[in-house]
Amino acid sequence: MDKRKDDIMSALTQTEIDKIYRMQQRIYWEADFVNRCIDRRLEGVGLCNLPYETLADEKIILDTAHDLYCRMADCNIAYNDTLDAVVDEVERCIARRTASLGRSGYHAGPEMF
């Protein structure tokens, strides 16, 4: 098993390894974001106006939320507190009707945020 891993790793450049790491990190972040949104809805926290059924597929909302997270992230603030602040901001944008409702839920335009 270790030999196979070594063979795969030796075939990749450091740039490729870094790219894979960033992609995987983003996938985990999106899962955290969607799960936190659902938890908040169940708890009745916030505006609860997100397209929960399609949120995992709402690329523009996810991209924008991730950009907000990257700007808001601070090592002195807990991860979940920052995630909550991002969810609050996304909900406010939707409440201001800066997103339109499409067939599968909210579809934000690039100018949404």
With both helix axes pointing from N to C terminus, report the angle between 14-43 and 59-72 in degrees, rounded to the nearest 10.
100
pLDDT per position as a tens digit, 11-38: 888 899 899 999 999 999 999 999 999 9
With CA atoms as reference, report the closest residue to 90 among 73, 76, 108, 77.
Answer: 108
**pLDDT category, 103, cuts 50, 70, 90?**
very low
Nearest-angstrom CA–CA distance, 87 and 48: 10
The Cα–Cα gap between 17 and 103 comes to: 38
pTM of the model: 0.77
Higher model confidence: residue 103 or residue 45?
A: 45
- Closest by CA to 83, choosing from 23, 37, 25, is 37
**pLDDT tens, position by position, 36-83:** 999 999 999 999 999 999 999 999 899 999 999 999 999 899 999 999
